[in-house]
Amino acid sequence: MTTPEEKFQALIDAEEKVEPPDWMPEGYRKNLIRQIAQHAHSEIIGMQPEGNWISRAPTLHRKAILMAKVQDEAGHGLYLYSAAETLGVKRDEMQELLHQGKHKYSSIFNYPTLSWADMGAIGWLVDGAAITNQVMLTRCSYGPYARAMVRICKEESFHQRQGYEILIRLCQGTSEQKEMAQDALDRWWWPSLMMFGPHDSESTHTEQSMEWKIKRVSNDDLRQQFVDMTVPQAEYLGLEIPDPELRWNPERGHYDFGEIDWEEFWRVVKGNGPMNRERLEHKVRAWEEGTWVREAAAAHAAKKAARAA
């Protein structure tokens, strides 16, 4: 006799989507809530580093583009919270766990944005890494997450281009502008590689997540894809990637690259990066200041429902 777990795995192996009313193992549900909530929190906290430059964008045109991008990130957070809610978790619950430091968000958003060139580097590298990781998630076995990722990937692709275009302009500008671009690359390169998570051998979830087809490609393979895609783009800009060990390996058909500072990675993941405290404090303050909006919206919805009844 086949067990529910075996039936579930057979459905996954047949490339069918799991939908909210379907039976699923508790571990599958919990793992998805963990990943989707982290992803949603990353989009929302990720608005802060770029939000910092909206009022200081060099032209009205740049300001309009940056505002649209930051708004897109808010939209991604909302689709993702909705996807997580289909698994039976409440949005407020996820917020509370984030605010208490019990839910994670991507390490990348704990670094400061020091110059306008950082807007270019975030679009090019951070959104570039996000797309590399998220294209596989459009094929995730859980339907609501996979569908949310289709639209998110399209928007991230626009974000990546807008960032790269900022850097093209800076690199074609004065020597000071090109230096700004190099400085941004120097600061954002390694944190961008960290976005893909620990080495496969150290990863807690990869093996099970790949068996359940939540993840389709491992952390190290995605990181390699990102490096292979990005090195020629840096060459086109005339910028140097800050890694003395970076070189093309014709035998592997990939770039070899140096080791990430894992001590720094875990320090940031555990809450002790350069901006962790500020990011979380800002998030909690925004949540508290928005209480009246949530209350007004809930009261309006309740009144409407009472009228309709």
Going from the C-alpha of 123 to that of each of 41, 91, 238, 269, 285, the distances in angstroms are 18, 28, 18, 22, 26
Q: Is 118 in the site for ligand FAQ (CB under 6 A)?
A: no
Asked if 123 contacts 72 with a C-beta cutoff of 8 angstroms, the reply is no
Residue 14 to residue 11: CA distance in whole angstroms: 5
Candidates 18, 33, 42, 94: give the one binding ligand FAQ (CB under 6 A). 42
* Nearest residue to the partner ligand FAQ, using Cβ: 46
127 forms part of the interface with ligand FAQ (CB under 6 A): yes
Q: How far is the CB of 300 from ligand FAQ (least distance, A)?
A: 30
Q: Which of 203, 233, 242, 246 binds ligand FAQ (CB under 6 A)?
A: 203
Contact call for residue 29 and ligand FAQ (CB under 6 A) = no
Number of amino acids touching ligand FAQ (CB under 6 A) = 29
Does residue number 17 form part of the binding site for ligand FAQ (CB under 6 A)? no
In the shown chain, the binding pattern of residues 135 to 174 toward ligand FAQ, with x for contact by CB under 6 A and - for none, equals ----------------------------------------
Residue of 66, 125, 140, 194 that binds ligand FAQ (CB under 6 A): 194
Burial, 191: exposed, middle or buried (Cβ in 10 Å; 0-12, 13-18, 19+)?
buried
Told to check if 198 binds ligand FAQ by CB under 6 A, we report: yes
Return the bridge partners of 249, or none.
254
Three-state DSSP class for residue 248 = strand
Question: In Å, what is the CA distance from 290 to each residue of 41, 105, 154, 294, 295?
Answer: 17, 21, 29, 7, 9
269 contacts ligand FAQ (rule: CB under 6 A): yes
Question: Considering the rule CB under 6 A, would residue 39 count as an interface residue with ligand FAQ?
Answer: yes
Q: Please pick, from the candidates 180, 181, 195, 234, the single residue that binds ligand FAQ as defined by CB under 6 A.
A: 195
- Residues 227 and 128: their CA atoms lie apart, in Å, by 10
Nearest CB to ligand FAQ, comparing residues 10 and 64: 64
CA angle 41, 124, 228 (to 5 degrees): 105
Q: Which is nearer to ligand FAQ, 178 or 193 (CB)?
A: 193
Return d(Cα 182, Cα 159) in angstroms, integer. Answer: 20
Q: Can you tell me which of 28, 37, 53, 107 binds ligand FAQ, judged by CB under 6 A?
A: 107
Cβ-proximal residues to 75 (8 Å cutoff; 6+ apart), any chain: 155
- C-alpha 211 chain-centroid distance: 22
Give residues in contact with ligand FAQ (CB under 6 A).
Answer: 34-35, 38-39, 42-43, 46, 73, 104, 106-107, 122, 126-127, 130, 133, 194-198, 203-206, 209, 215, 219, 269
